[in-house]
Each structure stands twice: as C-alpha cells, then as structure tokens.
Amino acid sequence: MKATSLLETQHREVEALFKKLHDGRSDREAELQQLADHLAAHMAIEQDIFYPAVKAVDMDLVEESYEEHSLAEMALKRLRSAPDEEAFRARLTALKELIEHHVSEEEMHLFPMVDRALGEKSLLELGEVMSDRFEAVRRAGFEATVPKGLSKTSADVARRTSLNKRGAAKKTQTAA
C-alpha cells in the first residue's frame, strides 16, 4: 500500500476510536489504551520514516506537523490522566479537534504534493517499511514509545535525529 494511503487508512481508524470513546458505550480504559497505542505508532512512523522522506516537498508543513505531534502527544498524556469525567470529556474533545486539524492539513495539502513528487514505486516501498514499523510500535505500546513527562515528546526526539543526520551530511559534503 502507498505510504499516503496507509496513513489515510490509519486516520480513519483513529476517527473510529474517537467515536467509540465519545459514545461511551464500551470499556473506556480499553478504548483509550487502543487509541493511545494507535496514535503513538502512527506518529512514530510519520516522524521517523515519512516526514524525513518527504521534508523536501514542503519543509514548513513538515515542521508544523512535528509541532502538532508534540501537542497531540501532550494532550493524549493529559487525557490519560484526567481526574474526572468532565476533564476527560474536555480533554478528549481538545485532542480530537487537534487531530482533525492535523489530518485535514495532511490529506488536503501534504499528501497530494507527496503523491506527485515521490511517484508510485517510492510510495509503495515507503508504505511497506511504514506498515512493518507501525505494527511493531503498536504492539510495544504507548508507554514504551512515548517519553515520560510533558517536557519532551517523541516528535522532539525524531526531529532532533533528523536534524543531526542532515547536519552530518552537510559536514561530509563540505569536507569533500
């Protein structure tokens, strides 16, 4: 499956999980854990694989996406620690709206540009790598994937890694 199609499929799965949580007809703790694990894995494959591969397409939108991931991760941490029903509902709504905005920007702006720039073969290869990584991260779970506390997010770590790789490549080119 193409990388962009994989991500769109995962977006629909997240939307369904939000609906289940909002409806409140199922086991909230289990649904929340499923949402947390799914979002952690989804953000991981975007941050570690997809964004570095497509950053040249629209660097500003990719940088904004890293920031949105940081905010979503913090909102998810806060949702998981909601002290009462009112806080849970408010935090669930805030996280859902943030994710909806992020999904809209990706699907309306970034993905069409990526589809044109990368081509079918590259997107299929990228999608395969992302799919394998998604399953591994999802199985590991939110707690194993996301840094503890509110001062550091996985987007910060992924972005720093990407910048360090770019800096090392520039140093190599300058030395040559």
Domain ranges across the chain: 3-175
Q: What is the pLDDT of residue 101?
A: 97
Task: Write the DSSP symbol of residue 153.
Answer: -
Under the phi-then-psi rule, with left for phi > 0, alpha for psi from -120 to 50, and beta for the rest, what region is 149?
left
Q: Which two tokens stand for residue 114?
A: 């990526």
With both helix axes pointing from N to C terminus, report the angle between 111-118 and 120-140 in degrees, rounded to the nearest 10.
Answer: 130
Question: What confidence category does residue 116 fall into, taking pLDDT thresholds of 50, 70 and 90?
Answer: very high
**Strands of 57-130, DSSP E:** none
CB contact burial 134-146 (16+ within 10 A = b; e otherwise)? beebbeeebeebb
Q: What is the mean pLDDT of residues 95-118?
A: 97
Task: Write the DSSP symbol of residue 25.
Answer: -
Question: What confidence category does residue 70 fall into, taking pLDDT thresholds of 50, 70 and 90?
Answer: very high
The predicted-structure confidence for 123-163, as pLDDT tens digits, reads as follows 999 999 999 999 999 999 999 999 887 656 676 678 677 76
Integer distance in angstroms from the first to the last C-alpha of the chain? 38
> Which of 75-79, 108-112, 150-154, 161-165 shows the lowest mean pLDDT across its residues?
150-154
* CATH node for 3-175: 1.20.120
Q: What is the pLDDT of residue 13?
A: 97
Q: What is the mean pLDDT of residues 104-132?
A: 97
Q: What is the mean pLDDT of residues 62-83?
A: 94
The predicted-structure confidence for 42-60, as pLDDT tens digits, reads as follows 999 999 999 999 999 999 9
Q: What is the pLDDT of residue 173?
A: 57
Question: What confidence category does residue 117 fall into, taking pLDDT thresholds of 50, 70 and 90?
Answer: very high
Q: What is the pLDDT of residue 140?
A: 96
pLDDT of 172 higher than 90: no
